[in-house]
Amino acid sequence: MTDAQRPHEQEAVLTAARRAREAAVDLATRSRAAKDAALNAMAAALEVDSALIMAANANDIDRARAMHTSEAIIDRLKLDDKRIGAMADGLRQVAGLVDPVGEVVRGYTLPNGLELRQVRVPFGVVGIIYEARPNVTADAAGLCVKSGNAVLLRGSSSARESNAAIVETLRRALSDTGLPPDAVQLVPGDGHEAVKHLMRARGLVDVLIPRGGASLIKSVVEESTVPVIETGVGNCHVYVDSSADLDQAIAILLNAKAQRPSVCNAAETFLVHQAVANEFVPKALTALKDAGVTVHGDERIRSYSKDVVRATDDDWDTEYLSLDIAAAVVDSLDDAVRHIRKHGSGHTDAILTRSQAAARRFVAAVDSASVVVNASTRFTDGGEFGFGAEIGISTQKLHARGPMGLPELTSTKYIVIGEGHVRP
Amino acid sequence: MTDAQRPHEQEAVLTAARRAREAAVDLATRSRAAKDAALNAMAAALEVDSALIMAANANDIDRARAMHTSEAIIDRLKLDDKRIGAMADGLRQVAGLVDPVGEVVRGYTLPNGLELRQVRVPFGVVGIIYEARPNVTADAAGLCVKSGNAVLLRGSSSARESNAAIVETLRRALSDTGLPPDAVQLVPGDGHEAVKHLMRARGLVDVLIPRGGASLIKSVVEESTVPVIETGVGNCHVYVDSSADLDQAIAILLNAKAQRPSVCNAAETFLVHQAVANEFVPKALTALKDAGVTVHGDERIRSYSKDVVRATDDDWDTEYLSLDIAAAVVDSLDDAVRHIRKHGSGHTDAILTRSQAAARRFVAAVDSASVVVNASTRFTDGGEFGFGAEIGISTQKLHARGPMGLPELTSTKYIVIGEGHVRP
């Protein structure tokens, strides 16, 4: 792209944002019934248009193959009838959830008789920046429409045609049910410049949610003047305390690491109290080896098996997202807490213990979005938490922390009702 | 300052932030009793040290006078026994408030038996950037300590010695009661560079709250990589509907504009429905004139009096903070809403009406932190809302909106308790 084209691209992004803003004003006061009807129509339209969407997807896949993209990524990109059906089912599920808009968060009558209520309202315009899987396009659109927000979607360029086809279908369904189609838009333009314009559209875009790898999230956080909710990077720990049930600990560790290693709530490090290391570590290493997991251990872990790779300083900070795990022996619960504070990403950390005192100490001292006692880290998930849906998992402390469902896609406002009240 | 000094200054800021972080870890698990004892000790220490603090303050005032600072600003800067007593009383009041830390925001048992709780936890380290009045130093420190946060305070350079004396006193009281004194620190260094380092200390500082004028807030929002909560700019509107009680409307308009014009919840514009303009505007203009208010009106307002100044385009967007008000006649409630959407700052906007339908429409359509019916805009305030204290008024939608009390100075975490649960 030449410099001469850039002002045009900026204008295109800002125009889309302004149209989203207009649509958001309309959407904000629509009833739950109107929004649910639109969501169900969006679901039906995806099924009706599935051949069109798959044709667009085939073009994306051809382009990816021509660029020698790995089969793993092509698998994430690929849409078939089953995956499109799952997208439609997801939208119907969101239609079944309670509408967060209008919920009274708190309310009371003040001593002077003023009635005060704090109620949930939509943000307005939400920007979602995401990678790879085109199903996020429909998921994010559904959650935003349900919560009364317009959404500006910026997917991966590798899924460009798939995303365009999905959005076209969703917009038609919105229009057919009388909702503003501009509530769901792709960010126009390609390349990083378009994202930059989105990130600088403060006042037009209320919040940006980047979903993807650490480098994507870091760049959004650094460059954006629009408020950002950070999501997803998970360097999760499992700490096996001196009083842990060791058989249970093996089962939990295996589940946390190997049940689905590519996701953010999978464990990336385990720490073992030295008092149980002799009994636990050999069993754990055997079980992990049988599950195909490579262990990157400190010297004390390595003393138990020659299969353990020597851990470097980097291992403690790495989100492997693969069948690898870092491991260390610690002298105390407090040492485990210190390790997690230093190296964790504030996503999910678990203690396995039979001691009430140890559990309480760990829960109080570990400052993560989700702190787990005697269960797998894999439970940190909007679906598992009973939220019905999830737009991402926040690893920051402002606004939302942990899995974000529909209420996390809203702000609030105060409504004050008087009878001629003035301040004395 | 030379360039050679800057790395040193950055290191000083980062060192302070790291010490705050350590203090925050300690403070996060302290009991309410320990924090309240510290707050009461901080109050007593301010009273004991009042002569020292006033001596430091006298130096600030001498410097301000030498720089020909206006008497209005010198008055805001000035401390006397009464004002120091008020600071101490403020701390005692905060000690009396409920501790937000540990509050269970929601909690239930999942179908698989996992127990899930979402509980309030401190942010960690809060940065406050503020102007002028040195009492903010004690107020902000008290609210942060109570909510379990360490605070980095960056006041106005004009109050440098006063702030240093207050912080020294507060730190001694923390230390005397066994809490970490580094929980309350001034940001070291002078000038804008120090603020810049604070704004880039992402990972060490959890949230920044700028309190002050529009330009301060804008620069923090643009430059900060630390998450920011915007506060305070208030271009508040009073809309007099066709069905308003006009005598009540005069009283509310006068209160909203003139009771204390220098604050963010004072009204800056009034809009009148054309159906009542003939009856309302002449009375309103007389009442405002008697209160010393200059009206900047559109042509329809100006047709009622030659005293009305012609409003320029800028007037609609101006936060006067003085005895000035913009005024326009509108053709409908929807025109009033459109005007407020276009020119408002999302702080506080009021409708005066006897119509239930008009009130409901205005409340739903006006997207501001506080929407008021038949009362003065001046009620948007943490104290008036019954929060017991206020760290500022958020005009953004992320995390907190409207007056922010103690709960708004916290994040949450999820605690998940299982009995060996693994994900199937």
| DSSP letter (8 states) at residue B234 | -
Q: Which residues pair with B104 in a beta bridge?
A: B119
- Do A423 and B108 count as a contact with CB atoms less than 8 A apart? no
- Do B118 and A402 count as a contact with CB atoms less than 8 A apart? yes
Residues of chain B positioned with their CB less than 8 A from the CB of A375? 114, 416-422
Cα B43 vs. chain centroid, distance in angstroms? 22
Q: Which residues pair with B118 in a beta bridge?
A: B106, B414
Choose among A110, A376, A380: nearest Cβ to B422: A376
Q: For A267-306, write each residue's pLDDT tens digit.
A: 999 999 999 999 999 999 999 999 999 999 999 999 999 9
Mean pLDDT of A162-185: 98
Q: How far is A109 from chain B (nearest CA, A)?
A: 9
The residue behind tokens 């950070």 is: A230
Q: How far is A246 from chain B (nearest CA, A)?
A: 10
Statement: residue A6 has pLDDT above 80: no
Q: Which residue of chain B is at minimal alpha-carbon distance from A413?
A: B369
Q: How far is A224 from chain B (nearest CA, A)?
A: 8
Best of B30, B416, B417, B419 to mutate (most A CBs within 10 Å, chain A): B416
Q: How confident is the model at residue B87 (pLDDT cuts 50, 70, 90)?
A: very high
pLDDT in the model for residue A73:
85
pLDDT in the model for residue B1:
44
Best of A229, A233, A367, A408 to mutate (most B CBs within 10 Å, chain B): A367
Which homologous superfamily does the CATH classification assign to the domain defined by A236-379?
Answer: Aldehyde Dehydrogenase; Chain A, domain 2 (3.40.309.10)
Residues of chain A positioned with their CB less than 8 A from the CB of B221? 202, 225
Choose among A29, A252, A422: nearest Cβ to B422: A252
Q: Which residue of chain A is at minimal alpha-carbon distance from B363?
A: A415
Q: Which residue of chain B is at minimal alpha-carbon distance from A407?
A: B399
Give domain limits for chain B.
Answer: 11-230+401-416, 236-379
Topology agreement, domain B11-230+401-416 and domain B236-379: no
B296: enclosing H helix or E strand: strand B294-297
Angstrom distance (rounded) from CA A212 to CA A128: 10
- Do B114 and A379 count as a contact with CB atoms less than 8 A apart? yes
Statement: residue A29 has pLDDT above 50: yes
Degrees to nearest 5, angle at CA A300 with A296 and A301: 40
- Do A402 and B413 count as a contact with CB atoms less than 8 A apart? yes
Q: How confident is the model at residue A239 (pLDDT cuts 50, 70, 90)?
A: very high
User: Which are the contacts of A180, defined by CB distance < 8 A and separation ≥ 6?
Assistant: A22, A23, A26, A27, A150, A174
| DSSP letter (8 states) at residue B231 | B
Residues of chain B positioned with their CB less than 8 A from the CB of A245? 420
- Do B418 and A373 count as a contact with CB atoms less than 8 A apart? yes
Mean pLDDT of B11-17: 95
pLDDT in the model for residue A3:
47
Using DSSP, state whether A332 is helix, strand or coil: coil
Which homologous superfamily does the CATH classification assign to the domain defined by B11-230+401-416?
Answer: Aldehyde Dehydrogenase; Chain A, domain 1 (3.40.605.10)
Residues of chain B positioned with their CB less than 8 A from the CB of A264? none
- Do A401 and B419 count as a contact with CB atoms less than 8 A apart? no
Q: Are strands A324-330 and A207-211 parallel, antiparallel or unpaired?
A: unpaired
Length, in residues, of chain B: 424
Decide if B167 contacts B136 (C-beta within 8 A): no
Angstrom distance (rounded) from CA B369 to CA A412: 7
User: Which are the contacts of B422, defined by CB distance < 8 A and separation ≥ 6?
Assistant: A251, A252, A254, A255, A256, A259, A375, A376, A378
- Do B251 and A422 count as a contact with CB atoms less than 8 A apart? yes
| DSSP letter (8 states) at residue B312 | P
Between the CA atoms of A162, A178, A209 and B206, what dihedral angle is there, to the nearest 10 degrees? 180
Q: How confident is the model at residue A80 (pLDDT cuts 50, 70, 90)?
A: very high
pLDDT in the model for residue A30:
95
User: Which are the contacts of A396, defined by CB distance < 8 A and separation ≥ 6?
Assistant: A229, A230, A346, B227
pLDDT in the model for residue B9:
87
Best of A108, A257, A368, A398 to mutate (most B CBs within 10 Å, chain B): A398
Give B10-25 as a 3 state SS string: HHHHHHHHHHHHHHHH
pLDDT in the model for residue A2:
47
Statement: residue B218 has pLDDT above 90: no
Residues of chain A positioned with their CB less than 8 A from the CB of B206? 397-398
How many angstroms separate the Cα of B364 from the Cα of each of A27, B235, B359? 11, 19, 9
Statement: residue B224 has pLDDT above 80: yes
Statement: residue B72 has pLDDT above 90: no
Q: For A318-336, write each residue's pLDDT tens digit.
A: 999 999 999 999 999 999 9
Q: For B117-154, write each residue's pLDDT tens digit.
A: 999 999 999 999 998 689 999 999 999 999 999 999 99
Mean pLDDT of B216-237: 88
User: Which are the contacts of B11, defined by CB distance < 8 A and separation ≥ 6?
Assistant: none
- Do B386 and A118 count as a contact with CB atoms less than 8 A apart? no
Q: Which residue of chain A is at minimal alpha-carbon distance from B415?
A: A371
- Do A398 and B401 count as a contact with CB atoms less than 8 A apart? no
Decide if B362 contacts B370 (C-beta within 8 A): no
- Do A423 and B396 count as a contact with CB atoms less than 8 A apart? no
Q: Which residue of chain B is at minimal alpha-carbon distance from A351?
A: B417
Token representation of residue B392:
């500022």
**Which value does ipTM take for this structure?**
0.93
- Do A421 and B374 count as a contact with CB atoms less than 8 A apart? yes
Token representation of residue A64:
């990816």
Residues of chain A positioned with their CB less than 8 A from the CB of B369? 413-414
Q: How far is A370 from chain B (nearest CA, A)?
A: 5
pLDDT in the model for residue B6:
64
User: Which are the contacts of A295, defined by CB distance < 8 A and separation ≥ 6?
Assistant: A285, A288, A289, A301, A305, A307, A308, A309, A324, A325, A326, A327
**Residue B141, phi then psi, degrees to nearest 5:** -60, -45
**Residue A153, phi then psi, degrees to nearest 5:** -100, 130
Taking the complete model, does pTM exceed 0.90, yes or no?
yes
Using DSSP, state whether A1 is helix, strand or coil: coil
Q: How confident is the model at residue A5 (pLDDT cuts 50, 70, 90)?
A: low
- Give the helix ranges, DSSP H, for A96-235: 135-146, 160-176, 191-199, 214-223
Q: For A368-423, write each residue's pLDDT tens digit.
A: 999 999 999 999 999 999 998 889 999 989 999 999 999 999 999 999 999 999 99
Statement: residue B364 has pLDDT above 70: yes
Token representation of residue B68:
């020909």
Instruction: Quickly count: other Cβ atoms within 10 Å of residue A12's Cβ.
Output: 15
Angstrom distance (rounded) from CA B85 to CA B57: 15
Which of A35-49, A198-212, B315-329 shows the lowest per-residue confidence on average (mean pLDDT)?
A198-212
- Do B413 and A368 count as a contact with CB atoms less than 8 A apart? yes
Statement: residue A162 has pLDDT above 60: yes
- Do A415 and B363 count as a contact with CB atoms less than 8 A apart? yes
Statement: residue A1 has pLDDT above 50: no
Decide if B161 contacts B187 (C-beta within 8 A): no
pLDDT in the model for residue B215:
83
Choose among A251, A359, A365: nearest Cβ to B422: A251
Query: A312: exposed, middle or buried (C-beta count within 10 Å: 0-12, 13-18, 19+)?
Result: exposed
Q: Which residue of chain A is at minimal alpha-carbon distance from B200?
A: A222
Mean pLDDT of A250-260: 97
Q: For B90-101, write each residue's pLDDT tens digit.
A: 999 999 999 999
- Do B421 and A386 count as a contact with CB atoms less than 8 A apart? no
pLDDT in the model for residue B256:
98
Of A400, A395, A10, A363, the C-alpha closest to A194 is A10
Residues of chain A positioned with their CB less than 8 A from the CB of B255? 422-423
Angstrom distance (rounded) from CA B334 to CA B351: 12
Q: Are strands B184-186 and B150-154 parallel, antiparallel or unpaired?
A: parallel
- Do A398 and B376 count as a contact with CB atoms less than 8 A apart? no
Decide if B186 contacts B127 (C-beta within 8 A): no
- Do B376 and A114 count as a contact with CB atoms less than 8 A apart? no
Choose among B368, B418, B423: nearest Cβ to A374: B418
| DSSP letter (8 states) at residue A292 | T
Using DSSP, state whether A413 is helix, strand or coil: strand
Q: How far is B19 from chain A (nearest CA, A)?
A: 15
For B62-109, the DSSP string reads: HHHHHTT--HHHHHHH---HHHHHHHHHHHHHHHTSPP-TT-EEEEEE
Angstrom distance (rounded) from CA B301 to CA B98: 49
Q: How far is A401 from chain B (nearest CA, A)?
A: 6
Mean pLDDT of A86-99: 96
